[in-house]
A and B are shown apart, each in its own frame.
Chain A
Amino acid sequence: MEQTTLTVSELNARIKGLLDSDPVLEQLAVVGELSNYKIYPSGHHYFTLKDAESSLRCVMFRSSASKLRFRPESGMGVTAVGRVSVFPRDGAYQLYCTNLIPTGMGDLYVAYEQLKARLAQEGLFAPEHKKPLPQFPARIAVITSSAGAAVRDIIRVLGKRWPESKVVLLPVRVQGAEAPAEIVGAIRYANRYQVADLIITGRGGGSIEDLWAFNDERVARAIYESRLPVISAVGHEPDVTISDFVADVRAATPSNAAELAVPDQTDVRDALAGYEIRLSQAMRKHLTDRRARLDELSGRKVLTSPTAYLDGKRVELDYLRSRLIGAGDGYLAAHKQMFARTTAALDAMSPLKVLARGYSVATAADGAIIKSTGSVSVGDALRLRLADGALRCRVEEKEEPHGRKEAVL
């Protein structure tokens, strides 16, 4: 038995050659479940595809992975499309995957559900972020295709309901790979240059692929970030896109968007007529009330008979005067009495009254009242004041209380 000796590299190259020459392995689809799904910083995806008994190493390069419209996760059932070959460095064969299709549902549907869940969690659909629409928008930006039925419907309905609003069309492609970027650009442009008070963006009906631009995350974020309120109008009634969830108002159709954007001029004319009636009624009532008040005032006595008013005042004046005089008299009487009492008291204390009772007052030559024997000497001249006159006297002798006598020497 001949035995061949090969290096490891030679063997791996030989096996790789065998596999690469198999037409089935060149392009096939493998059904299995994703596990150990990893996205490397390089952008390449590495994962294992397995079923109940076996597993298969897989790689998906960035160029293919970036085209995926959903986010693969471990546990997901998929059909992996690609070719099988050997990775010579590891001596391992693997599936070089070019596309992944979730089993059971279309990948667009999965992508839609995933994006919806993620943006909802992030708060992009939060009711408190919804902006109110202006009541009478002066300008309305319409971001859609300039060719479709949608733009015609919007312009027609706006013109019929509220021709007052100027329609500002920002034409964009609404399907195909370029559509999301164009829609995003138009929304941002409308905001930057404040070209309108309100934005309507959308398109007519179509397949889920046709509507796909309005399920694009970039479009959703541009709507969310718009300072101008956005009405989304994508497809027909049952179609609900991510844009519809993010928009401030969701319209079922483009025509419906126009209806939501502006009031109907018939209603506004009715409202104006209502104001006109209320205004004149209020004014009439105002004037009637004034007139009634005037009549009531003019019915009062002061206006019908001015002299009666003066008569009244005169009576009041007389009364006041009498009260004043009365008060003055009382005051004087009271004071007269008090004066009499005071003079009586003063009178009682008068030295003249004391003298009248038999006392006298002695004064020296200088007029000082003599209160002590010590302040006079024998021979001094004194004046004795009596009730009815005075006596001039001379001191002949001083009598001390202890009996000591001092006579004129």
Chain B
Amino acid sequence: MEEKKLSFEDAMQRLDGIVRRLEKGDVALEESLVLFEEGSRLLAQCSKQLDAAEQKVVMLKKGSDGAPVELPFESEGV
């Protein structure tokens, strides 16, 4: 898993903000270009994330220190 990347929810929210900003049209040219670039990047990131998504299912067991331990879970007939 990549870390420090925006979560899907944050990415969508940021994207929404960028589109609204640009649609209002009161941004300077240079800023609008920066926003457009960021928006395009977020779009690509979200699409990629959707395309690459593969469901992960784990079963939690309490470890010896109490903290959760992940075990693979194979449910028959899924």
* Bound pair (A, B): yes
Interface residues of A (CB under 8 A from B): 134-136, 138, 141, 146, 151-152, 155-156, 158-159, 162-171, 189, 193, 195, 265, 268-269, 271-272, 275-276, 278-279, 282-283, 285-286, 289-290
A279 with B29: in contact, given A152-B77, A164-B8, A169-B60 (CB under 8 Å)?
no
What's the least CB distance linking B78 to chain A, in Å?
A: 5
What's the least CB distance linking A224 to chain B, in Å?
A: 22
The answer to whether A282 and B23 touch across the interface, beta carbons within 8 angstroms, is yes
The answer to whether B12 and A136 touch across the interface, beta carbons within 8 angstroms, is yes
The answer to whether B12 and A269 touch across the interface, beta carbons within 8 angstroms, is no
The answer to whether B78 and A268 touch across the interface, beta carbons within 8 angstroms, is no
The answer to whether B39 and A275 touch across the interface, beta carbons within 8 angstroms, is yes
Interface residues of B (CB under 8 A from A): 7-9, 12, 15-16, 18-19, 22-23, 25, 27, 29, 32, 36, 39-40, 43, 46-47, 49-50, 53-60, 62, 67-68, 70, 73, 75-78
The answer to whether B53 and A163 touch across the interface, beta carbons within 8 angstroms, is yes
CA distance A290 to B16 in the complex (A): 23
Residue among A156, A158, A171, A290 making CB contact with B59, cutoff 8 Å:
A171
Residue among B7, B23, B25, B43 making CB contact with A136, cutoff 8 Å:
B7
Contacts of B12 in A (CB 8 A): 135-136, 268, 271
Residue among A159, A195, A279, A285 making CB contact with B43, cutoff 8 Å:
A279
The answer to whether A279 and B19 touch across the interface, beta carbons within 8 angstroms, is yes
Residue among A138, A163, A286 making CB contact with B22, cutoff 8 Å:
A286
The answer to whether A158 and B55 touch across the interface, beta carbons within 8 angstroms, is yes
The answer to whether A275 and B29 touch across the interface, beta carbons within 8 angstroms, is no
Contacts of A146 in B (CB 8 A): 59, 73, 75
What residue of chain B has the Cβ atom nearest to residue A164's Cβ?
B53
Contacts of A166 in B (CB 8 A): 55-58
CA distance A34 to B35 in the complex (A): 75
CA distance A357 to B59 in the complex (A): 134
The answer to whether A170 and B43 touch across the interface, beta carbons within 8 angstroms, is no
User: Across chains A and B, which 9 residue pairs bring their CB atoms closest together, nearest first?
Assistant: A282-B22, A159-B55, A163-B55, A163-B53, A136-B9, A167-B57, A164-B53, A166-B56, A136-B8
The answer to whether B25 and A275 touch across the interface, beta carbons within 8 angstroms, is no
What's the least CB distance linking A165 to chain B, in Å?
A: 8
A275 with B16: in contact, given A193-B68, A265-B50 (CB under 8 Å)?
yes
